[in-house]
Structure 1
Amino acid sequence: MEWFKEHIIGIFISLLLALVATKLGSLFPIIGGPVFGIVMGIIINNTLGKPKAASKGIAFTSKKILQWAIIVLGAGLNLMQVLNTGLSSFSVMIFTLSAAFITAYVFGKLLGIPKNLRNLIGVGTAICGGSAIAAISPIIEAEDTEIAYSVSTIFLYNIIAVLVFPPIGHIIGFSDKAFGLWAGTAINDTSSVVAAGYAFSNVAGAYATIVKLTRTTMIIPISLIFAFITSYKKKKESTQDSKVNYNIKKIFPWFILGFLLASLLNTMGLFTGASIKYINLTAKFMIVMALSAIGLNTNFKAIIKNGLKPMLLGLIVWFSVAIVSILVQFSTGQI
């Protein structure tokens, strides 16, 4: 009961904000609920401020609800669909993932961008925008400000991609499948992939959506890789400094196992078409709710302090992924 009293106000405020953000997202799908949620949260926190009594509930929502959202997201994923996309999309995906992480690391260091921020921008561009950032952030112990900045950066290039990808695809002369593969591997957010794909053609839209689902499964190995890297660094620090508390159980992303289990249950046919629709809606709403809470914890001055360099990094990483996707398709004869 004591826990409920301490957390209910913050959870309720996050829920209320998420409802408004989701409604606005449905009216302006090119922006989407997650962006509305995080932006409104930042505006409220940096103007009106939040009640002290809401702090624990907001912190709980930004961390735990975010992890639960990833698990629910897995329940909407059928692994057979992933398998059916074939090795052609998988090979392009491996190259684009590699391009994203290498570019984020190299240019992030050159631009002097903090490690967590460049990792979040890299993983958000490589996999699936906000969902991937949500999965990785607790593993690398990212600050709410870093999460807010990376989500905002990814959002900017999603908007640009929806507008420029279809005409570029027609100019290059992409087939429906080639454009679907390009959009599915080089655009971050699912809604933006769908929007760009169907703007090109119905066939391209359908294939882009399946490719994007395949890309989403990369959350599992990438999260585990980050967990092991973080674990190694913590272990190394604990041997050098006895005050450092090293515990693999705290670092390991248990929610990713939940994501995988939920995906397996869906693949086994435990969820029907109608229930999958509501599962996906629930997962998206939970992500909006968590990002709204992150916005309520974000100091706008801290974002401004980072300057435009992270935005530039986001552009470089996104551009490299888009170019690599085209080059791999050309070299493998898919275009």
Structure 2
Amino acid sequence: MNKTQDQALPKPNPSPKFSKATSMLGGIGFTFLIALMGYGLSFVPKLSVLGQLAWAILIAALFRQVFGYPEALRSGIQFTAKKLLRLAIILYGLKLNIAIVFSQGLGLLLRDVVVIVFAILVTMLLAKWLKADGSLSLLLGIGTGVCGAAAIAAVSPILKAKDEDTALGAGIIAFIGTVFAVVYTLLQPYLPLTESQYGIWSGISLHELAHVALAAAPAGEDALAVSLLAKLGRVFLLIPLSLILMYWMRRTGRIEKGSKLEFPWFLLGFIALSIVGSIELNGQPMIPTGLKSGIANSASFILAMAMVGLGLNIHIKSLRKAWRPLLAMTITSILLAVLSFWMA
């Protein structure tokens, strides 16, 4: 065989199985490293106000703008953004003690219902007035009313939302929620509210569980406890809201005729872990507090990894359409803060 013939022969391709495994593991590892960077930045003074989720999304979005999407790692990144995201939401259920919500928080639960309905309706009305993107605005309204990025991630499959909108929504709500939490903290010493009232106000109005904890902790243990109880009621209401959204999607014909609407089975896992986490045996929790705390922290980190996968879908040109939904959500958040202050 001469040299010319040798050059004409096709070079052997790497094993498809090996390439797929490399893409999968490499993509998961990539999201892990960026989530770890976000975790580290969340402990840096003056940078910690943004929180792990916000930093994870920002770093991922910045990487996309500078280096482009890492195509070689796509399968692992998509696995993290879709599969691990659902795992994080399931584990998130351990943060919700259903027994406490029903035994002590029925009054708060009613206020939570008002908050969720108000947030969604007002955001959508403002979005229509501002001629904002409807899909992204709906995600932001749900995130504002329920539990931030976790709620957006949970309802996105039901609403058939684009990954780009899911990523934008999660990033926007993490950032705006942090701003509101910091403002609440600064205002707290000057407000005519008791610790309990301030805790209720924080719990029924702020976006993420982390934002509630950030704002309520400086007011004392009582304020923190009641704020988390109020917030957990909103997390619980994610379940009936998802079922309502499924019915609405079918009723309004927003899915093609004959197509199958994906049921969010992971929410059943969320409910199951919520129940398991609420069970007590001989006055002691079935799952030890330390273990529950460790799993909850793991859930937060896995959620940050998923946010990296979503953040990589953000392209700078997509931000041009986001200012109207952002404005609608910001106005809604301000109005919600005023309404919930009155309800506290």
Provide the TM-score with structure 2 as the length reference: 0.87
CA displacement at 1:47 relative to structure 2 = 0.6
Separation in 2, partners of 1:163, 1:68: 30
Separation in 1, partners of 2:133, 2:82: 21
Q: Does 1:264 align with 2:275?
A: yes
Give the corresponding residue for 1:207.
226
Separation in 1, partners of 2:89, 2:254: 27
Q: What SS does the aligned partner of 1:320 have?
A: helix
- Do 1:17 and 1:292's aligned partners in 2 also have CA atoms closer than 8 Å? yes
Separation in 1, partners of 2:303, 2:114: 28
- The alignment's C-alpha RMSD in Å is 2.0
Give the corresponding residue for 1:17.
34
| 1:164-183 map, 5 Å | 164-183=183-202
- Do 1:153 and 1:310's aligned partners in 2 also have CA atoms closer than 8 Å? no
Separation in 2, partners of 1:172, 1:22: 32
- Higher Rg: 2
Q: Which of 280, 283, 300 lines up with 2:299 in the alignment?
A: 283
CA displacement at 1:6 relative to structure 2 = 4.3
Answer with 11-20 or 80-89: which moved more: 80-89
Q: Which of 70, 73, 77 lines up with 1:58 in the alignment?
A: 77
Answer with 73-82 or 179-188: which moved more: 73-82
CA displacement at 1:53 relative to structure 2 = 1.7
| 1:217-256 map, 5 Å | 217-233=236-252, 237-238=256-257, 246-248=259-261, 251-256=262-267
In the superposition, relative to structure 1, how do residues 167 and 266 fare at CA in structure 2: closer, same or farther (>3 Å)?
Answer: same
- Do 2:159 and 2:249's aligned partners in 1 also have CA atoms closer than 8 Å? yes
Separation in 1, partners of 2:318, 2:43: 30
Q: Does 1:8 align with 2:21?
A: no
Give the corresponding residue for 2:6.
none
| 1:119-158 map, 5 Å | 119-158=138-177
| 1:213-238 per-position Cα deviation (integer Å, ceiling 9, x unaligned) | 22211221112222222234458731
Answer with 153-162 or 30-39: which moved more: 153-162
Separation in 1, partners of 2:330, 2:71: 37
Displacement over 6 Å in runs of 4+: none
- Do 1:99 and 1:324's aligned partners in 2 also have CA atoms closer than 8 Å? no
Separation in 1, partners of 2:171, 2:23: 30
Separation in 2, partners of 1:231, 1:16: 40
Q: What SS does the aligned partner of 1:31 have?
A: helix
Q: What SS does the aligned partner of 1:173 have?
A: coil
Provide the TM-score with structure 1 as the length reference: 0.89
Give the corresponding residue for 2:4.
none
- Matched residues, number: 320
Give the corresponding residue for 1:326.
341
- Do 1:30 and 1:192's aligned partners in 2 also have CA atoms closer than 8 Å? no
Answer with 186-195 or 201-210: which moved more: 201-210
In the superposition, relative to structure 1, how do residues 167 and 38 fare at CA in structure 2: closer, same or farther (>3 Å)?
Answer: closer
Give the corresponding residue for 2:332.
317
Separation in 1, partners of 2:92, 2:296: 6
Unaligned runs of 5+ in 2: 1-15, 280-284
Give the AA of the match of 1:257: L
- Do 1:79 and 1:267's aligned partners in 2 also have CA atoms closer than 8 Å? yes
Separation in 2, partners of 1:252, 1:231: 12
Answer with 184-193 or 318-327: which moved more: 318-327
CA displacement at 1:67 relative to structure 2 = 1.1
| 1:271-304 per-position Cα deviation (integer Å, ceiling 9, x unaligned) | 110111111111101110000111122212112x
Q: Does 1:94 align with 2:113?
A: yes
- Do 2:49 and 2:182's aligned partners in 1 also have CA atoms closer than 8 Å? no
Unaligned runs of 5+ in 1: 239-244, 330-335
Answer with 186-195 or 167-176: which moved more: 167-176
CA displacement at 1:160 relative to structure 2 = 2.6
In the superposition, relative to structure 1, how do residues 237 and 154 fare at CA in structure 2: closer, same or farther (>3 Å)?
Answer: same
Give the AA of the match of 2:38: A
Give the AA of the match of 1:224: L
CA displacement at 1:175 relative to structure 2 = 1.2
CA displacement at 1:76 relative to structure 2 = 3.1
